[in-house]
Amino acid sequence: MNRITSRIPSTIFALCVAAAAAAAPAAQDATHEAPYPARAITIVVPFPPGGTSDVLPRLIAPHLQAALGVPIVVENHAGASGIVGASYVARSKPDGSVIMVATPPILAVNQWLYKKLPYSPEKDFAPITDAVETSNMIVVPASLPVRTLGELVALAKARPGVLTFASGGNGTSHHLCGEMLKKTAGVDLIHVPYKGVGPAQIDLLGGRITMMCDNISNVIEPVRSGQLRALAVTAPERSALAPDVPTTAEAGIPGLTASVWFSFVAPAGTPAAIVERLQGEIAKALRDPAVAERLHGLGLTVVADSPEHFGRFVSAEATRLGELVHASGAKAD
């Protein structure tokens, strides 16, 4: 596999953390300014309602509101694989009043799929924390007459260019997972991108889409209710939430692994003191027993790391996922 390093300086995102740290004294010494936060905080979700990126901030918003003493408003700014919302946040004032839920497409994938982006994933955001992570699960409508991943692959080979796979948009983990399935299993599937997980799942549940490789947190409930059938999890080990579902390796496709992370970022230039305050309160909210139990029930693992660690992680992910995009041949439709 060819390494791709020319377009992303691997340290730029991490260096944003250091730059923010240098600004900390100025933020702390601004005695004439009202203490943070002085007004409502908006959490931008760059995807439609219905997916983990939307559930996560709404779950912790009451805890943040109680801790910070100001209203926490969750707004959906959906469109173009998160580009619309990301562009909005990149242009927002760096004072901690606007932050964003960010996923791999926004920070580590879109730059490989699109020739031009209206924002820079490396320069326009200050990392706050990697909040939670989860693996993916390959699911099909219960009405589809396949019960194993092997049967799905066999059906796809018998009907090349006919079966479809849904995603929440170009560059999402669902998209790349489907492209990996095509490559590793040698099948011809048609990618159908939607404007978010919610609309994709509606058509999947209705049987208008053949399959989807979606976050466990998004599909575990319809799997439990029998509306969807789980064929495999794209992880090295089985999920405790679905112990009877084999891994992709156990199902005969050992090269297919995919996971996704959900993070929080602020506009670049946000003072380090504010970033640290946000990270601390978000981490506390994620570790609240009731919140943690709900997240675990959705198949989400709490990370809640530091801004510095998250910055380094994103730099590494940008390189890794860039290589994956190149190898899979995935492109923005």
Query: SS in 3 state form for the chain?
Result: CCCCCCCCCCCHHHHHHHHHHHCHHHHHHCCCCCCCCCCCEEEEECCCCCCHHHHHHHHHHHHHHHHHCCCEEEEECCCCCCHHHHHHHHCCCCCCCEEEEECHHHHHHHHHHCCCCCCCCCCCEEEEEEEEEEEEEEEEECCCCCCCHHHHHHHHHHCCCCCEEEECCCCCHHHHHHHHHHHHHCCCCEEEECCCHHHHHHHHHCCCCCEEEEEHHHHHHHHHCCCEEEEEECCCCCCCCCCCCCECCCCCCCCCCCEEEEEEEEECCCCHHHHHHHHHHHHHHHHCHHHHHHHHHCCCEECCCCHHHHHHHHHHHHHHHHHHHHHHCCCCC
Q: Is 126:92 a contact under the CB 8 Å cutoff?
A: no
Q: Is 319:5 a contact under the CB 8 Å cutoff?
A: yes
Phi-psi region of 275 (alpha: psi -120 to 50; beta: other; left: phi over 0): alpha
Q: Is 217:299 a contact under the CB 8 Å cutoff?
A: yes
> How far, CA to CA in Å, does 268 sit from each of 109, 124, 139, 288?
19, 5, 38, 28
Q: Is 134:215 a contact under the CB 8 Å cutoff?
A: yes
Q: Is 179:227 a contact under the CB 8 Å cutoff?
A: no
Q: Is 233:248 a contact under the CB 8 Å cutoff?
A: yes
Dig out the tokens for 233 from the structure.
């999890």
- What local confidence, expressed as pLDDT, does residue 187 receive? 96
Give the domains, in start order, of the chain with CATH numbers: 12-133+260-328 (3.40.190.150), 134-233 (3.40.190.10)
In angstroms and rounded to an integer, the radius of gyration of the C-alpha atoms of the chain is 20
**Residue 273, C-beta contacts closer than 8 angstroms, at least 6 positions apart:** 24, 27, 28, 36
Strand partners, 213: 138
Q: What is the pLDDT along the chain (333 residues), one digit of tens a residue?
A: 333 333 444 445 554 555 554 444 444 444 446 799 999 999 999 998 988 999 999 999 999 999 999 999 999 999 888 999 999 999 999 999 999 999 999 999 999 988 889 999 999 999 999 999 999 999 999 999 999 999 999 999 999 999 999 998 888 888 989 988 998 999 999 999 998 888 999 999 999 999 999 989 889 999 999 999 999 999 989 998 999 999 999 999 998 888 889 999 999 999 999 999 999 999 999 999 999 999 998 889 999 999 999 999 999 999 988 988 887 777 775
Q: Is 125:266 a contact under the CB 8 Å cutoff?
A: yes
> Measured between alpha carbons, how far is 213 from 205 in angstroms, rounded to an integer?
13
- What local confidence, expressed as pLDDT, does residue 1 receive? 38
